[in-house]
Amino acid sequence: MPHALSTPGTQPLKSQFRLYGLGVGLLSFCLVGGYPILARTQTVASNSDLNQVMTQVESNRSWSEASFPVENFRGYSSYYGDSRLVNGISDFNRGIDIVTQEGSYVRSWLGGRVERLAVDPVCGVTIVIQSGPWRHSYCNLRGTIQPDATGVPALVDSTGQVMLRVGQVVQVGSRIGRVGVISQMGQALLHWEIQYGDRWIDPADILTMMYAQQQTQVAAIQPLRQDAAPASRIVIALRRAIIGQESAGNFRAVNPHSGALGYGQVMPFNVRAWSIEALGYPLTPQQFINSPQLQLQIIDYKLGQYWQSSLRLSGGDEEIAVRMVAAQWYSGDPRLYNGTRVQRYNGGRYPSIQAYTLAVLSRYKTFRNN
């Protein structure tokens, strides 16, 4: 189905450009079964040192093409500088813990070369990638580290069809592994760390810069269409009624089963065509989810189209037309508004189309004259 009910809202970053102490750590190694295990020592730089590093980082990098490091984002569990206890080991957090769905794919934040595969005593299987002066690591991953046919260490996750070798070149955004579960915490977490030269960098600061640059890039592509008519009261009521069934108002929601995006849970494959129709130029899924204003304009444009066609199909019956709009948004076919079969998508179970459209109609009646 092109749209599906969303997951609970995500949690915002703990802060914007926080000035915690910047960890300048040393990586030492011991061997277990022939493979390295990361062992950590920790020192902390001053805030003035951190300011110098972040000024250099911000002025020397374009983040518009960098990738968020994991799919099916749910929120954040632990932040840079926090103390945490994982698997019985007390650990200073030099990165950020991102909550996701078990088995979700991890994506390379930047393009680079796999420098190291390791087993970390705190969070297990670890990938370290070198990208120029940047070193980024990902841990709590599925799979095992074993030699390939030539003896080169490789991360093997057969179920996820992942094979990653030391020395392999990876592209930005490419899938490099899958997230496991930290059982004591009961959550699927990706632990993500970043170094710039020999300096540890708070990933939240990098994500903030990425978001700011991508927002600027979206705004610079094209302005909002000035000839777009304001959404009618009916379209706004439809939108509010459908959003109550979809994302509960979360512009950054991502459905774990379908990948549907944002406020209206738009499928990623619809974003390009719909944005061209509504805005006059294409958006990527990332640009779409980054802009609440553009999401609203695209959603209202499509709902207006659906409303006009549903009025014709229903012979002018407002209630049937509302349910047809909801059915088209939910299933892609307005004629299925009385369908009673429970909907399933990639392992997820969702209400029947009939139940969905009746719930939307009930909410629409509440909003119609407000």
Domain final residue, candidates 154, 171, 201: 201
Q: What is the pLDDT of residue 25?
A: 25
Longest dimension (CA), the chain: 75
Domain final residue, candidates 169, 201, 233: 201
Task: Confirm whether 6 is domain-assigned.
Answer: no
Query: With contact defined as beta carbons under 8 Å apart, do 38 and 126 qualify?
Result: yes
Do 32 and 159 fall into the same domain?
A: yes
Task: Confirm whether 277 is domain-assigned.
Answer: yes
Do 107 and 250 fall into the same domain?
A: no
pTM for the structure as a whole: 0.49
Domain span at residue 27 reads: 22-201
Q: What is the pLDDT of residue 153?
A: 95
Query: 31-81: per-residue pLDDT in tens?
Result: 222 222 333 333 333 344 445 555 555 554 556 567 889 887 777 777 777
Q: How far apart are CA 81 and CA 23, in angstroms?
A: 8
Do 269 and 305 fall into the same domain?
A: yes
Amino acid of residue 113? R
Do 173 and 279 fall into the same domain?
A: no
Do 246 and 195 fall into the same domain?
A: no
Do 284 and 195 fall into the same domain?
A: no
Task: Confirm whether 138 is domain-assigned.
Answer: yes
Looking at residue 248, which CATH number applies to its domain?
Answer: 1.10.530.10
Task: Confirm whether 10 is domain-assigned.
Answer: no
Do 38 and 180 fall into the same domain?
A: yes
Do 190 and 231 fall into the same domain?
A: no
Residue 80's alpha-carbon distances to 234, 341, 364, in angstroms, are 46, 46, 44
Residues 6+ apart with CB under 8 A from 160: 103, 105, 142, 143, 177, 178
Mean pLDDT of the chain: 75
Domain final residue, candidates 167, 201, 235: 201
User: How does pLDDT run along the chain (370 residues), one tens digit per residue?
Assistant: 444 332 223 332 322 222 222 222 222 222 222 222 333 333 333 344 445 555 555 554 556 567 889 887 777 777 777 766 555 655 677 888 888 888 989 999 999 999 999 998 877 999 999 999 999 999 999 999 999 999 999 999 999 899 999 999 998 888 999 998 765 667 788 999 999 988 888 887 787 777 666 555 444 444 444 444 445 788 888 988 887 655 556 788 888 777 888 888 898 988 998 988 888 888 899 899 888 889 989 999 999 999 998 988 988 899 999 999 999 988 888 999 998 888 776 666 778 899 989 989 988 888 887 6
Task: Confirm whether 147 is domain-assigned.
Answer: yes
Cα 238–chain centre separation: 27
Query: With contact defined as beta carbons under 8 Å apart, do 80 and 22 qualify?
Result: no
Residue 352's alpha-carbon distances to 4, 317, 358, in angstroms, are 11, 22, 10
Task: Confirm whether 215 is domain-assigned.
Answer: no
Q: How far apart are CA 104 and CA 102, in angstroms?
A: 6
How many structural domains comprise the chain? 2
Query: 210-227: per-residue pLDDT in tens?
Result: 766 655 544 444 444 444
What is the bridge-based pairing of β-strands 188-196 and 199-201?
A: antiparallel
Query: With contact defined as beta carbons under 8 Å apart, do 236 and 324 qualify?
Result: no
Q: Count of CB atoms within 10 A of residue 233's CB?
A: 12
10: nearest Cα among 366, 248, 311: 248
Task: Confirm whether 252 is domain-assigned.
Answer: yes
Looking at residue 181, which CATH number applies to its domain?
Answer: 2.70.70.10
Do 193 and 237 fall into the same domain?
A: no
Do 183 and 65 fall into the same domain?
A: yes
Task: Confirm whether 305 is domain-assigned.
Answer: yes
Residue 114, token pair as written in the block = 């796999």
Q: What is the pLDDT of residue 35?
A: 25
Q: What is the pLDDT of residue 177?
A: 95
Helical packing angle, 318-331 and 292-313, nearest 10°: 130
Q: What is the pLDDT of residue 170?
A: 93
Q: What is the pLDDT of residue 43?
A: 35
Do 228 and 311 fall into the same domain?
A: yes
Do 175 and 230 fall into the same domain?
A: no
Q: How far apart are CA 288 and CA 268, in angstroms?
A: 9
